[in-house]
Chain A
Amino acid sequence: EVQLLESGGGLVQPGGSLRLSCAASGFTFSSYAMNWVRQAPGKGLEWVSAISGSSHSTYYADSVKGRFTISRDNSKNTLYLQMNSLRAEDTAVYYCAKRCGGGSCYGWVDYWGQGTLVTVSS
């Protein structure tokens, strides 16, 4: 059974930093690209960042480029999101999301974690 468990959320002041983690189990972690997707309170879903299985390639939404860094440790089956220079508009639940795999996969997300809440406020 695929499981994704996020941690590291909390209250941080504007301009501060936070690192989110996502512990993965139930699949061969290193074989799959992973994503972070966020959801502001009462709002819709926004893709934030993606990383290839080997960490060779990373991608970011324009809204976080230059402030957030995605990384992974395949020896620990863990995905990370380092968030710097945080703003009030970064307040959201952050979800870890697994990309599909295999020959028929064309990019959809097939599993999501339960999310961790990040609140940016003074």
Chain B
Amino acid sequence: EIVMTQSPATLSVSPGERATLSCRASQSVSSNLAWYQQKPGQAPRLLIYGASTRATAIPPRFSGSGSGTEFILTISSLQSEDFAVYYCQQYENWPPTYTFGQGTKLEIK
């Protein structure tokens, strides 16, 4: 079973600054990595798939990088609406299995 580990658990950043979130896989997942944003009381929203491709309507300040076991989500120039919990997820084509990281809470400094 692949284990996804996110760091840090909580990240405090000031608006306008850059945030860097990390996700590590226990074994290679190639580029089968997605990032989701979840705000309190809301469903997750897809931000990035294929490790680096932005989903529809996601602003360019969100970017993803990495492959294999090490992945990064970067949010440049944080806006107030970006403070939320972020999850990474590895996925398999078929049979479908999904494993999520434990999440990184991005909070206002």
Known: A47-B98, A59-B96. A107 touches B91 (CB 8 A): yes
Q: Report the stretch among B11-19, B20-28, B38-46 that lies at the interface.
A: B38-46
Residue among A44, A47, A113, A114 making CB contact with B97, cutoff 8 Å: A47
Residue among B46, B93, B101 making CB contact with A107, cutoff 8 Å: B93
Interface contact A100-B49, CB-CB below 8 Å: yes
Residues of B within 8 A of A112 (CB): 43-45
A-B contact count (CB 8 A): 65
Mark out the residues of chain A between 74 and 122 whose CB falls within 8 Å of any chain B CB in the assembled complex.
95, 99-100, 106-115
A side interface size, CB within 8 A: 23
Known: A100-B49, A108-B49, A115-B43. A45 touches B87 (CB 8 A): yes
Interface contact B100-A95, CB-CB below 8 Å: no
Interface contact B87-A109, CB-CB below 8 Å: no
Residue among A44, A57, A95 making CB contact with B101, cutoff 8 Å: A44
